[in-house]
Amino acid sequence: MYDDTALRRLLIELAASHPEHAAVIRAFTPLALARGKLLDAYALSRKTKPLDGFPMFRFEELPVCSEKSGAIASAVLEAVAEGFPGAREQVEAVRDALKPGSVRRLCKASLAHDPEPLALFAEKNSLSPDVLDMVIAQTVKILMARTANSLPEAPFDPARKTCPYCGGKPELSVVHEKEGHRSLFCTDCGRHWRFQRTACPSCGCDKPDNLRLHFAENTPDERAVSCKNCGHYILEADIRKRDLALDGAAIVCLGMGYLDALMQEQGLLPLGESA
């Protein structure tokens, strides 16, 4: 049976240690808990044979079942309504408009990076585009994670800048184990892969003194890493002193919004964005 005790404890600790982001963390807590339960409930059998080529699957190839995507979207809607009570009326309007077939169609459009079907659906049904986009985006992320979690572990390639499972960009760097290994977490499917400690995950530059570390006050284990060569940055958490499994480490980025703001004030760009 799925046990979310550790995740609940981590979210409470994050809110307590980051009071400036406590409201955001509490708002996203129901969604984080729902994601864990859904990935457990709809888990696929783990493949054991390595697949040919990388990424192992592509966005447009992801199977989207109307029944499962509809059930996942329904659970996401409940979590969004709980976390954002001020938007409950807008969430209920989206719930009333979405049917399993339309969820599947909108998820496929999102996977194809085609925003038009979502915009048209929101306009036709007088829905909040932001709420609809959020629900579909979170549903797609869970569908992608479900597939990615079933894939065998990718072989270590220290220079791989994109996700070997889905081809997505990294959103978080995590330093772990006593040796100080570095892993990147995918913004799309949520899986992680090893990456070299001294290189930029955006441009791959591995020159001495190219990477700069940016710390906020009182959070030495949380930082941003920027690249002098390309001007991009990535958030990074060092979990070696924390009672935290690597698989669950991505949740810590909920408390790192201040570093995002600090980097962008300095004119630096998140990975995947261009000037």
* pLDDT for residue 49 is more than 80: no
pLDDT computed for residue 144 by the predictor: 96
Could you give the percent of the chain with pLDDT greater than 70?
98
User: Per-residue pLDDT averaged across 54-67, rounded?
Assistant: 86
CA-closest candidate to residue 185, choices 259, 266, 271: 271
pLDDT computed for residue 275 by the predictor: 64
φ, ψ for residue 171, nearest 5 deg: -115, -15
Distance in angstroms (rounded) separating the CA atoms of residues 71 and 103: 9
Please write the tens of the pLDDT for every residue from 14-30.
Answer: 999 999 999 999 999 99
User: Per-residue pLDDT averaged across 198-217, rounded?
Assistant: 94
The pair of three-digit structure tokens given for residue 123, joined into one six-digit string: 């306009």
CA-closest candidate to residue 33, choices 84, 87, 76, 74: 76
Q: Are 149 and 191 in contact (CB under 8 A)?
A: yes
DSSP string, 128-145: -HHHHHHHHHHHHHHHHH
pLDDT computed for residue 46 by the predictor: 84
182 — pLDDT class (breaks 50, 70, 90): very high
Ranking 48-52, 101-105, 206-210 by mean pLDDT, the lowest is: 48-52
CA-closest candidate to residue 126, choices 153, 89, 171, 162: 89
63 — pLDDT class (breaks 50, 70, 90): confident
pLDDT computed for residue 244 by the predictor: 85
Residues 214-225, buried b or exposed e (16+ Cβ, 10 A)?
bebeeeeebbbb
Q: Are 21 and 257 in contact (CB under 8 A)?
A: yes
Single pTM value for the model: 0.93
Task: Give how far the C-alpha of residue 94 lies from the chain's centroid of Cα atoms, to the nearest Å.
Answer: 23
Please write the tens of the pLDDT for every residue from 83-103.
Answer: 999 999 999 999 999 999 999
Distance in angstroms (rounded) separating the CA atoms of residues 10 and 154: 28
Rounded to 10°, the helix 88-97/129-148 angle is 70
The pair of three-digit structure tokens given for residue 143, joined into one six-digit string: 């569908």
Domain ranges of the chain: 4-150, 170-270
Distance in angstroms (rounded) separating the CA atoms of residues 148 and 190: 8
- Give Dmax over CA atoms of the chain in angstroms: 56
The pair of three-digit structure tokens given for residue 169, joined into one six-digit string: 């960009």
50 — pLDDT class (breaks 50, 70, 90): low
